[in-house]
Amino acid sequence: MMEEMNVMPRIGEQAPSFEAVTTQGKINFPVDYRGKWVILFSHPADFTPVCTTEFMTFGKMAAEYEALNCQLVGLSIDGLYSHIAWLRTIKDKIDYKGMKDIEIKFPLIEDVSMHVAKLYGMVQPGESETQAVRAVFFIDPKGIIRTILYYPLSLGRNFDEIKRVLMGLQTADNFGVALPADWRPGDDVIVPTAGSCGVAKERMDNKTGELICYDWFFCTRKLSKEEVESKLGK
């Protein structure tokens, strides 16, 4: 049983398929979202304070993710009616850090059987055998898992980082580059490492300023915020 719970997909693999009931109707995942980026995330339980702050933050940012061609899909192992009651409570009663009247329009999966949670390794017995941890799966428009983040029950997620990861994945794909530590749109990006001695020498000898080479294997170039933003969501 524990081995089954601990199994999780890996980066670069096809996102496991499933059908589920959600607060927005039935879904066939990830088929229904082909052509979009998807952030599939789990939370431990409805009517819990940390999860409430997270859902309010996602709800507040929903339009930003939509602009990035990204669909949010939530999950917990609570039932549909609990989900509905909790989301209504968030909208009607909770006023937190200036966030209020937040309507959650993205689907929240009912997973009482824990089928999807187990399929994605969201249940970590060392943390809890009855609740999903705070997992985040970034899935690209072809249905491939590109990044996985895991948080424990007690720690709310960093939503600036979640959005940064999504923008970074799209930028790396769009421009064929890698991104340095703490990258933000407008920062320099890393060009592919030289694949031959000749190219390495050319880069080190290049004085045009197009590339900044710290050594033969480590060169960066400018990529403006405007260029990045012009292709986000594509």
pLDDT in tens, 152-197: 999 999 999 999 999 999 999 999 999 999 999 999 999 988 778 7
User: Quick one: the chain helix, strand, coil %, rounded to 5?
Assistant: 35, 25, 40
Model confidence at 2: pLDDT above 60: no
Average pLDDT, the chain: 92
Instruction: Look at residue 7 in the predicted model and tell me its pLDDT.
Output: 66
Q: Which residues contact 82 (CB under 8 A, 6 or more apart)?
A: 46, 47
The reply to whether 197 belongs to the active site is no
Residues 6 or more apart from 176 whose CB is under 8 A from it? 192
Q: In this predicted structure, what is the pLDDT of residue 18?
A: 97
Question: 95 pLDDT exceeds 70?
Answer: yes
* Annotated catalytic residue, options 51, 70, 213, 219: 51
pLDDT at 209 over 50: yes
- Please, which pLDDT band fits residue 207 given cuts at 50, 70 and 90? confident
* Cα–Cα distance measured from residue 164 to residue 228, given in angstroms and rounded to the nearest whole number: 12
pLDDT at 197: 78
Position 6 confidence tier, pLDDT thresholds 50, 70, 90: low
Residues making up the annotated binding site are: 134
Residue 14 has pLDDT above 90, yes or no: yes
How many whole angstroms separate alpha carbon 32 and alpha carbon 66?
15
Radius of gyration of the chain from its Cα atoms, rounded to whole angstroms = 20
Residue ranges and CATH numbers for the domains of the chain are 2-158 (3.40.30.10), 176-231 (3.30.1020.10)
Over 50: is that where the pLDDT of 47 sits?
Answer: yes
Q: Which of 115, 118, 92 is CA-nearest to residue 103?
A: 92
Tokens at 9, concatenated: 């997909």
Split at pLDDT 50, 70, 90, the class of 128 is confident
Q: Which of 160-169, 199-208, 216-225 has the lowest mean pLDDT?
A: 199-208
Q: Is pLDDT of 140 > 70? A: yes
pTM of the model as a whole:
0.92
Q: How far is residue 178 from each of residues 31, 170, 188, 189, measured CA to CA in Å?
A: 28, 11, 10, 6
Q: Name residues whose C-beta falls within 8 Å of residue 24's C-beta, 6 or more positions apart in sequence.
A: 105, 106, 107, 108
Is the predicted pLDDT of residue 50 greater than 60, yes or no?
A: yes
- C-alpha–C-alpha distance, residues 212 and 203, integer Å: 9
Q: What is the DSSP letter of 144?
A: B
Phi, psi of 71, deg, nearest 5: -100, 130
Which amino acids are annotated as binding site for substrate, given as ranges?
134
pLDDT of residue 69: 98
Q: What pLDDT does 194 receive?
A: 75
